Chains A and B, each alone.
Chain A
Amino acid sequence: MDLAGLLAFNVLTGIATLILITLGLGVIYGMMRIINLAHGEFMMLGAYTAVMASGAGVNIWIAMLVLPPLVVGLIGLILERTVIRFLYGRMMDTMLATWGISLGLIGLITTLYGNVVRGVSTPVGSFDIGRYGASLYSLVILVTALSALAAMFLLLRFTKFGLILRATMQNPRMAAALGVQPSRIYMATFALGAALAGLAGGVLAPISGVSPAMGAAYIARAFITVLGGGPAIITGTGLASTLFGAINELVSFKTTPVIGDVALLTAAILLIRVLPQGITGRYLRRSL
């Protein structure tokens, strides 16, 4: 019984982690149809921000939850202005350019800070599920992921900005005719996606090693989850993360983390084969 509790808790944490690492990518892909291959490196930058800030004596919660999205959002904004905006409408070229950005960021951070693994300690302790111990920090991840998802939903559903975003996504020309500048919206969206990636990096920094190449570990999982989720950003990310996160955790527990990862990726490929437009391309099409 205790074991089932621990396992359920782990599955929830796994799902929350997947939501966190996927959401930023999902926003950029859903809104702009850009597959941002630098997503993992945006996370890496967020993690570095957290490590640097907490090392400089900033309160750990601010260092993890506030600064990373701000810093990485700003970096995303700059990259959008200098590189991405020239490539709208050229899907392959944006993929390649973001891949270049990804390599460049790895190289830049390696050159600046060296290829070493840093870490910050988890700021909270542990609790017991029956006779098993579990990390309280998992709860932090859970809460952050759900808050981020909810905040995105509120933003898209109830604010004017969200309305304009959705309009631009559906029909950029019509939106432009109505006085919206699509390029402004794309800029904001890209920065928002980057900020979400930064948040994910900041929150995950205490439980994973922080190194220049850490992004690579997340990238395949994040992509395939976004594609599996389909066009509706919030529902898609939520559903696909739940499905794949649960598969990953359960298989990992039964076998090894490697087989768990392989199971996740294989399940996602099969899903895309059956539903080429992702889950929300077929079901719940009117959702956000």
Chain B
Amino acid sequence: MSTGSIDRRGALKLALSAAAGAVAMPFVSRTGLAAEPIKLGSLLDGSGALGLEGKRMIETTEYAVDLLNKAGGLLGRPIQLIAYDTQSSMQLYTQYAQQLALKDKVDVIQGGITSASREAIRPIFGRSRTLYFYNTQYEGGVCDRNVFCTGSTPAQTVNHIVDYALKHWGKKAYIIAADYNYGHITASWMTKFMKDGGGSVLGTDFFPLDVTNFSSAISRIQQAQPDLVLSALVGANHSGFYRQWDAAGMKSKIPVGSSVFGLGDELTTMDPSTTNGIVTCYGWYNNLDTPATKAFVSGMQAKFGADVTDLSELDTATYDGIMLWAEAVKKAGSIERDKVIAALEGGLSIESPTGKVTMDGATHHTIRNTYLAEPENRTWKILATFPDSFPADTAGACDLLKNPRTNKQFTPDLKG
């Protein structure tokens, strides 16, 4: 009991120092009550197909805003969180994005989970000139002065999975991916990394997010006889693949690497026999042996209950997005969009659960640690650490310092 409370206090202290930096104004929130609040808008799926992932991200958003407010808010003003549940519906993303931008007139927006949702709302915030943070590991390449992406991208993660696979499993891969832009672009990166490493890809199949029956897909894979399977399957329905793969006895025959597996609650809801050994690579794992990670996890558990055991990079990236923005506001001394962007482009860093996270001004992506890990009996076994990974994929095409008017998503060129 007593150790628990020490942990919690330690967590709070650490988080506070991370949030507030050197500025210690513990009583500002009391005196600053009269001040007009700064509005932080959040658009995340608390229900629907992505509700599982979104629920924790929503909690993280509340947690981070709480931390900031406890530390006295920003610029002497409290932060008001305006959050909408987009219910995994693109129509509601459009609806609420317009509401946040035009009616609530928020100062910053943090949110979006799937790449589809990001691409639906990005133009709306571009038009209304509302600063937007996208806090999810994703396929990379977004190059837009108004948008900052804090999650890891393929050059920081997928290449490590492919390297591991080429070294330990073999040269012939079969790729299965979700049928939308994330899956397509990630599959392209997988193909590129395989070929760069001297391997080959025997086949690539795409599955819409509502597919649950993978029996024909498993037969196709067996027919092709690959050495390994690379998966970019997304969401709850697709988790059926791993169950059916295990049920067909394929688990022991062909190893699997995945770019999204385990970001939800797969580790707690699936049998260890199904999950063990699926190699993944993310910017954070919830059992990293660092004080900051322990502080974050115990802080979240203190606020939302002890069953918060499935935190993932999606959550720390959300935390990073809010803290990077807060740091930039402090540095700029203003919440004006252009001043905050200038501060962020100046190479801002924060200490996050994953370690040091630095905003790369040219790409608006983060330089961060990434880790390779596989599930082992419901926890993650860390296989390797890659410190200060650079978002080389986006950087290959995007330089917002030189060309601030760029506004598009670059996709990998497979011809090279």
Do any CB atoms of chain A lie under 8 A from CB atoms of chain B in the complex? yes
Contact A126 B51 (CB under 8 A): no
Give the chain B neighbours of A137 by CB distance below 8 A.
Answer: 247
Contact B244 A117 (CB under 8 A): no
Contact B205 A256 (CB under 8 A): yes
The answer, among B208, B222, B240, for a CB contact under 8 Å with A119, is: B240
Contact B243 A217 (CB under 8 A): no
Cα of A207 to Cα of B240 in the assembled complex, Å: 6
Please, which residue of chain A has its CB at the minimum distance from the CB of B223? A3
Cα of A13 to Cα of B211 in the assembled complex, Å: 17
User: Known contacts A115-B47, A117-B52, A133-B250: does B239 contact A209 (CB below 8 Å)?
Assistant: yes
Give the chain A neighbours of B403 by CB distance below 8 A.
Answer: none
Tell me how far the C-beta of A109 lies from the nearest C-beta in chain B, rounded to whole angstroms. Answer: 12
Contact A119 B239 (CB under 8 A): yes
Could you say which of B137-145, B264-272, B285-293, B321-329 contacts chain A? B264-272
Residue among A118, A249, A256 having the largest count of chain B Cβ atoms under 10 Å: A256
User: Known contacts A125-B249, A133-B248, A137-B247: does B219 contact A253 (CB below 8 Å)?
Assistant: yes
Q: Does A158 contact B (CB under 8 A)?
A: no
Cα of A114 to Cα of B47 in the assembled complex, Å: 7
Q: Does B253 contact A (CB under 8 A)?
A: yes
Tell me how far the C-beta of B269 lies from the nearest C-beta in chain A, rounded to whole angstroms. Answer: 6
Cα of A97 to Cα of B253 in the assembled complex, Å: 49
Give the contact-size bracket for chain B. 35 or more
Give the chain A neighbours of B239 by CB distance below 8 A.
Answer: 117, 119, 209
With an 8 Å Cβ cutoff, the count of chain A residues facing the other chain is: 43
Contact B222 A257 (CB under 8 A): no
Contact B212 A209 (CB under 8 A): yes
Contact A132 B222 (CB under 8 A): yes
Cα of A252 to Cα of B216 in the assembled complex, Å: 6
Cα of A136 to Cα of B211 in the assembled complex, Å: 21
The answer, among A118, A126, A127, A257, for a CB contact under 8 Å with B213, is: A257
The answer, among B47, B55, B210, B243, for a CB contact under 8 Å with A207, is: B243
Tell me how far the C-beta of A1 lies from the nearest C-beta in chain B, rounded to whole angstroms. Answer: 13
Q: Does A116 contact B (CB under 8 A)?
A: yes
The answer, among B207, B243, B265, B269, for a CB contact under 8 Å with A256, is: B207
Give the chain B neighbours of A10 by CB distance below 8 A.
Answer: 215-216, 219
B185-228 interface mask toward A, CB cutoff 8 Å, 1 = contact, 0 = none? 00000000000000000000111101111111101101100000
Contact A260 B249 (CB under 8 A): no
Contact A119 B205 (CB under 8 A): no
Please, which residue of chain A has its CB at the minimum distance from the CB of B235? A117
Cα of A134 to Cα of B245 in the assembled complex, Å: 9
Contact B269 A118 (CB under 8 A): yes
Give the chain A neighbours of B236 by CB distance below 8 A.
Answer: 116-117, 209, 211
Q: Does A6 contact B (CB under 8 A)?
A: yes
Tell me how far the C-beta of B170 lies from the nearest C-beta in chain A, rounded to whole angstroms. Answer: 17
Give the chain B neighbours of A134 by CB distance below 8 A.
Answer: 248-249
B262-300 interface mask toward A, CB cutoff 8 Å, 1 = contact, 0 = none? 000100011101100000000000000000000000000
Q: Does A23 contact B (CB under 8 A)?
A: no
Q: Does A128 contact B (CB under 8 A)?
A: yes
Q: Does B333 contact A (CB under 8 A)?
A: no
Cα of A258 to Cα of B47 in the assembled complex, Å: 25
- Extra contacts, 9 of them, besides A10-B215, A116-B52, A258-B207 (Cβ < 8 A), are A6-B219, A116-B51, A126-B249, A128-B249, A132-B223, A133-B249, A209-B212, A257-B211, A257-B213
Q: Report 30 cross-chain contacts, Cβ distance below 8 Å, ordered by A residue.
A: A6-B222, A10-B215, A115-B47, A115-B49, A115-B51, A115-B52, A117-B236, A117-B269, A119-B243, A119-B269, A119-B270, A122-B243, A125-B249, A126-B247, A126-B250, A127-B249, A133-B248, A206-B243, A207-B244, A208-B212, A208-B237, A209-B239, A209-B240, A217-B210, A217-B212, A252-B216, A256-B206, A257-B214, A257-B217, A258-B179
Interface residues of A (CB under 8 A from B): 3, 6-7, 10, 13-14, 17, 110, 114-119, 121-122, 125-128, 132-138, 206-209, 211, 213-214, 216-217, 249, 252-253, 256-258, 260
List 9 tightest A-B contacts by C-beta distance, closest first. Answer: A126-B249, A117-B236, A252-B216, A133-B249, A135-B247, A208-B212, A115-B51, A115-B47, A122-B247
